A and B are shown apart, each in its own frame.
Chain A
Amino acid sequence: MSTKRVITYAEAINEALREEMKADPNVILLGEDIGAYGGVFKVTKGLLDEFGSDRVIDTPISETGFTGAGIGAAMTGMKPVVEIMWVDFTLVAMDQILNQAAKMTYMSGGQTKVPLVIRTQGGGGRGNAAQHSQSLETMFAHVPGLKVVVPSTPYDAKGLLKSSIREECPVIFIEHKMLYNQKGEVPSEEYFIPLGQADIKREGKDVTIVSLSRMVHFCLDAARELQNEGIEAEVIDLRTLVPLDLELVKKSVQKTHRLVIVHEATRSYGWGAEVAARIQEEAFDELDAPVLRVGAEDVPIPYNLNLEKEMLPQVRDIVDAARNALYLSV
């Protein structure tokens, strides 16, 4: 990281797309309003001008159609990056994603590769209500055959997206709508972050807090509050759900002996349950307290901003969980 440079999460993703399109003429983009308009979150800004309408393709509102077309193109030599404007709309195209893209390589006995990236964005916090605020990463992680990337910073977003585009399998790349304007350091030199490497965002010795996407920032805020009480929390950003870097979590738990898992997705059947199960299977003796989960309440997301805030995990909830894991009264 020689050249210090600060850009937004949206700009970082834009750079990754631009660099990969320059590097490989087979990389094409498909999605709604991504061309002339530059995407509703401005992520694909300028790419139509630079690469032309054969490579930056504005599609009709037909998620099943253009996702499926992305899969077919990927099977036959292209490297499509499909943008589905909101993760909630991936549900319209779920057959193509879960029955087709995820299984194609296996069903064909390895004859077919599907080097496809589906970029989308999720998360709440803006009063967008039940059909525009969900965190659905677990759904994709649950079906073998898809890699799942959920970045929290501009630096991670860029390096992970570049690697995702170079994968040979379908990758679901889920951005967070509340992070697009967030700024961070991104070197001007080219770099890649391999999928499957979690990142310690803050070191600590008392309790491990595992998270991803926007919640990483909430966890860091919680860690600062805990520090005021003399508690040193270690914050781990998984960055990718599939592959899952359990080793780093285990190592951290060997040090802290306490684990709190935080996700914005609803708590029940979320990926937090998977991490908790794996840790107790593989590191039971290391634990000094039950593994705790912080997640959204198990309800659809309400429109009213107060209700939404109460329903989604907040810094306070993470602080409380960490204290609970340390058997301190809340």
Chain B
Amino acid sequence: MGQLLQFFELGEQTWHGDQRKAEEAWRTMNLIRAFEEKCIELYKQGLMGGSLHSYIGQEAVATGVCMNLNTDDYITISYRGRGQAIAKGADPYKLFAEMLGRKDGYCKGKGGPMHIACRELGILGANGIVGAGIPIAVGAALTAKNKKTGQIALTFFGDGATNQGAFHEALNLAAVLKLPVVFVCENNLYAEMTPIKHSTLNEDLAERGAAYRIPSIVVDGNDVRAVHEATKTAVDRARSGEGPTLIEAKTYRLVGHMFGDPETYRTKEEVAEWRQKEPIKRFRQVCLDEKLLDEDRLDEIQNQIYKEIDTVAKRAMEADQPGMEEIFTDVY
């Protein structure tokens, strides 16, 4: 069990002088944040149906993980999955259009916020059923192994999802079949309104991977460099045929489980504390301290992204509604 469970520590030389990586990470994290903030605005205006589950605060996980993936690698995501979709290369216009249920959306407006999918980018789908995407990623890894394509599959899920049978069955299957799959658990400390410590006795959820003899890594999910490096090990293992890895990224969602959540289950102090440790603020400091990007460049990129998101959202708001005939297409 000892070697199977690892606590990742960032090496001093990580990304040393690598401005290209720093810029990519900064860009992606800000794009996700800007996108998610805009979604809240649109939701408040009554432009969306259903519920909105924001990814704000967890941007370093999607960003750090997906920097290791190729376009044709598979991922499965959840109702909170726009962040990962963006990190995998999704077009914000098509994402907004889907959020608004428009024809130009990734799923023609028929899937909505909980069901983002884009086959071109390997995004097999977002799930409204907690944990259900995990075995599906294992199946995609089975395809990759059988066809020897060199692709891998990766699945994002929450802390709460590790209490589902589907999670456990999928892990064991992947371990036994030695499949090229990476399990990324985003432990944001809460499953809806329930603190994870009330629903599982494991201090580290990564122990659950180790229980199936899957090498499992605990990483600081608010440090984009650490997430990137830890996942790199996992992705390399998968690609070289050594089997699955589980990553537990410890993070925090800075807003409610969904829009309108009164957040009675946590204190303002706790949220304020995590705001100090939030990934974008932290990475800005890293960039400055390590002289990766200077203040002007950071601001320039950030401003440009917010402007772009504004424009794109406006365009999506003007997009056409799907035609009624779409009710009957794509059923079988």
A33 — which chain B residues lie within 8 A by C-beta?
A: 192-194
B49 — which chain A residues lie within 8 A by C-beta?
A: 126-129, 303-305, 308
Report yes or no: B109 in contact with A297, Cβ–Cβ below 8 A.
no
The reply on A277 being an interface residue by CB < 8 A is: no
Q: What band does the interface of chain B fall in when counting residues whose beta carbon is under 8 Å from A? A: 35 or more
A307 — which chain B residues lie within 8 A by C-beta?
A: 101, 109-110, 322, 324, 326-327
| Neighbour of A132 across the interface among B114, B163, B165, CB < 8 A | B114
Question: Given A60-B160, A92-B164, A131-B127: A305 and B101 within 8 A (CB)?
Answer: yes
Report yes or no: B110 in contact with A58, Cβ–Cβ below 8 A.
no
| Neighbour of B129 across the interface among A64, A88, A127, A311, CB < 8 A | A88
Cα-based distance from A300 to B324 in the complex (angstroms): 14
The reply on A289 being an interface residue by CB < 8 A is: no
The listed residue with most B CB atoms (<10 A of its CB), out of A64, A91, A307, is A307
Tell me which residues from 100 to 118 in chain B have a Cβ below 8 Å from any Cβ of chain A. 101-102, 107, 109-115
Interface residues as binary, B80-116 with A (CB distance below 8 Å gives 1, 0 otherwise): 0000000000000000000001100001011111110
| Neighbour of B50 across the interface among A65, A299, A303, CB < 8 A | A303
B172 to chain A, nearest CB (A): 16
Cα-based distance from A299 to B332 in the complex (angstroms): 9
Question: Given A299-B327, A302-B109, A305-B101: A61 and B128 within 8 A (CB)?
Answer: no
B165 — which chain A residues lie within 8 A by C-beta?
A: 62, 64-65, 92
Tell me which residues from 34 to 61 in chain B have a Cβ below 8 Å from any Cβ of chain A. 48-51
Cα-based distance from A28 to B264 in the complex (angstroms): 24
The reply on A274 being an interface residue by CB < 8 A is: no
The reply on B4 being an interface residue by CB < 8 A is: no
Total number of residue pairs linking A and B with CB closer than 8 Å: 128
Report yes or no: A61 in contact with B111, Cβ–Cβ below 8 A.
no
Tell me which residues from 58 to 93 in chain A have a Cβ below 8 Å from any Cβ of chain B. 58-65, 88-89, 91-92
Report yes or no: B50 in contact with A132, Cβ–Cβ below 8 A.
yes
Report yes or no: A37 in contact with B193, Cβ–Cβ below 8 A.
yes
Report yes or no: A130 in contact with B101, Cβ–Cβ below 8 A.
no
B264 to chain A, nearest CB (A): 7
The reply on B307 being an interface residue by CB < 8 A is: no
Question: Given A40-B192, A60-B199, A129-B115: A304 and B127 within 8 A (CB)?
Answer: no
B160 — which chain A residues lie within 8 A by C-beta?
A: 60-61
| Neighbour of A126 across the interface among B50, B113, B166, CB < 8 A | B50
The reply on B191 being an interface residue by CB < 8 A is: yes
Interface residues as binary, B190-228 with A (CB distance below 8 Å gives 1, 0 otherwise): 011110001110000000000000000000000000000
Interface residues as binary, B300-332 with A (CB distance below 8 Å gives 1, 0 otherwise): 000000000000000000000110101110010
The reply on B7 being an interface residue by CB < 8 A is: no
Report yes or no: A61 in contact with B324, Cβ–Cβ below 8 A.
no
Report yes or no: B128 in contact with A297, Cβ–Cβ below 8 A.
no
Interface residues as binary, B128-151 with A (CB distance below 8 Å gives 1, 0 otherwise): 111110000000000000000000
Interface residues of A, count at CB 8 A: 37
Report yes or no: A129 in contact with B111, Cβ–Cβ below 8 A.
yes
A71 to chain B, nearest CB (A): 15
B67 to chain A, nearest CB (A): 29
A95 to chain B, nearest CB (A): 10
Question: Given A60-B163, A132-B128: A304 and B109 within 8 A (CB)?
Answer: yes
| Neighbour of A61 across the interface among B110, B191, B265, CB < 8 A | B191
Interface residues as binary, B247-283 with A (CB distance below 8 Å gives 1, 0 otherwise): 0000000000000000011000000000000000000
Tell me which residues from 159 to 201 in chain B have a Cβ below 8 Å from any Cβ of chain A. 160-161, 163-166, 191-194, 198-200
Report yes or no: A303 in contact with B101, Cβ–Cβ below 8 A.
yes
Report yes or no: B128 in contact with A88, Cβ–Cβ below 8 A.
yes
Report yes or no: B194 in contact with A129, Cβ–Cβ below 8 A.
no
A200 — which chain B residues lie within 8 A by C-beta?
A: none
The reply on A306 being an interface residue by CB < 8 A is: yes
Report yes or no: A304 in contact with B101, Cβ–Cβ below 8 A.
yes
B50 to chain A, nearest CB (A): 4
Report yes or no: B194 in contact with A32, Cβ–Cβ below 8 A.
yes
A308 — which chain B residues lie within 8 A by C-beta?
A: 49
A123 to chain B, nearest CB (A): 13
Cα-based distance from A126 to B49 in the complex (angstroms): 6
Report yes or no: A128 in contact with B101, Cβ–Cβ below 8 A.
no
The reply on A36 being an interface residue by CB < 8 A is: yes
A91 — which chain B residues lie within 8 A by C-beta?
A: 129
A121 to chain B, nearest CB (A): 14
A8 to chain B, nearest CB (A): 18
A132 — which chain B residues lie within 8 A by C-beta?
A: 50, 114, 128
Question: Given A60-B199, A127-B48: A300 and B331 within 8 A (CB)?
Answer: yes
Cα-based distance from A138 to B166 in the complex (angstroms): 25
Cα-based distance from A132 to B130 in the complex (angstroms): 12
A31 to chain B, nearest CB (A): 11
Cα-based distance from A131 to B166 in the complex (angstroms): 17
The listed residue with most A CB atoms (<10 A of its CB), out of B107, B161, B321, B327, is B327
Q: What 6 A-B pairs come out closest when comparing CB atoms?
A: A127-B49, A303-B112, A304-B101, A60-B163, A131-B128, A60-B199
Residue pairs across A and B with Cβ atoms less than 8 A apart, 26 shown, are: A32-B191, A32-B194, A33-B193, A37-B264, A40-B192, A58-B194, A58-B199, A61-B163, A64-B165, A92-B132, A127-B50, A127-B101, A128-B50, A129-B111, A131-B115, A131-B127, A131-B128, A132-B128, A297-B327, A298-B331, A302-B327, A303-B101, A303-B115, A304-B102, A305-B101, A308-B49
Q: B-contacting residues of A (Cβ < 8 Å)?
A: 32-33, 36-37, 40, 58-65, 88-89, 91-92, 126-132, 297-300, 302-308, 310-311
